[in-house]
Amino acid sequence: MTDNSAAPTTAGPLAGILVADFSRVLAGPYATMLLADLGAEVVKVEGPRGDETRTWVPPVRDEVSTYYLGVNRGKRSIVLDLREEADARLARELVRRADVVIENFKPGGMAKYGLDYDSVRADNPAAVYASITGFGSGAGGHVPGYDLMVQAISGLMSLTGDPDGPPYRAGISVFDVMAGNHAAIGVLAALRHREATGRGQHVEVNLLSSALTGLVNHSSAFVAGGTVPYRMGNAHPSVFPYEPLPTADHDLIVAAANDGQFRKLCQVLGLPEVPDDPRFARNADRTRNRDQLRPVLVQRLATRGAVEWFDLLVAAGVPCGPINTIDGGFAMAERFELDPVVVVGEGERAVPTTRHPIRFSETPAVYRLPPPDLDEHGAELRAWLSTPREERRG
């Protein structure tokens, strides 16, 4: 571990940036993992029991939670019990040296340790300080921020499921991931501002706001159109066909979202006359008459399997895709030469993990460290934080 003012020792566009990560579970750790992939030096500060996701099992790999492994590569771990003054002092020294601080404590929770934004800014005015909460730091600050709660409160669950069935959660913690992305974007924007002005700032992200912007067309339907959307199963309220349709073996997602794509779909299906039918000529017509059009398409799709239709339709320029399980999704990414899996670490510590989603032509993502064991780098980091400034390299 070296001082962040020393010459960068890592590749990546964020080489030389030191991130003090006081977050846990998903949104914050996902954001800091993305920053680590981009070359930032990330110090993961954990309490004596460690990040909760260390205990979220099954599944496991070598007795370690795969949930934890999925969002914590590229970091160094130190255990600091902030209730102990000696450890709190080390934490304050860490944030004094950091370029970026990320935390997802309840609003006000860092203040009692002298680690809130105002305290950090007093000693480190150039720091970019990112806070992730469930419902903001105002009137919703006392409400715990769990993704499932936000899926319910935001309205997402009211949009998910069959029209006559109960509401459902999404299959992943979608708003935690979205908020993590928003936090990373906010940090990068604030670093750009610091580069221009020399000043840091407080970046605040909350799951509910991320959810409302992430509902995109449904949010706009209400805000701009005064319409409250409702559950439609896998159907789209404004486009048809844009849903799963049965084939000879498995369901196939067909997303013919404009008139040209629909005409190509019909040509491949051997239905060249259908696009000229006034009931189906335009998207608005097809959406209004979906109950009449759907059986026409299904009858033809039943003559081949989903993968065969996928190859034929994509070749013709029609968006579609088989509904895979996760292993099928990775297999498809391999087929498309996306190299979705990278191995981080060496020997017994080697861990396969999902590749960073952004490709850079000049400063590619780096995968330097496997997800750390609890306090794996504690001794090294304590020694570094205890070294007086004048004795530190750089």
In whole angstroms, give the CA distance from residue 76 to residue 370: 9
What are the structure tokens assigned to 42, written together? 């990330």
Whether 176 is catalytic is yes
Of 231, 61, 258, the closest CA to residue 156 belongs to 231
The SS3 assignment for 45 reads strand
Q: Are 31 and 132 in contact (CB under 8 A)?
A: yes
In whole angstroms, give the CA distance from residue 385 to residue 381: 6
Locate tokens 């003559």: which residue?
Answer: 303
In whole angstroms, give the CA distance from residue 366 to residue 375: 22
Q: Pairing state of beta strands 341-344 and 351-354?
A: antiparallel
Report CA-CA distances (Å) from 268 to 38, 259, 271, 311.
44, 14, 8, 11
Q: Which of 51, 116, 147, 176 is catalytic?
A: 176
In whole angstroms, give the CA distance from residue 390 to residue 245: 68
In whole angstroms, give the CA distance from residue 294 to residue 297: 5
- C-alpha R_g of the chain: 25
Q: What are the helix and strand counts (H, E) for the chain?
A: 14, 13
Q: Are 249 and 302 in contact (CB under 8 A)?
A: no
Helix (H) or strand (E) holding 299: helix 290-301
DSSP string, 117-171: HHHHHHH-TT-EEEEEESS-SSTTTTS---HHHHHHHHSGGGGSS-TTS-----S
Active-site positions read 176
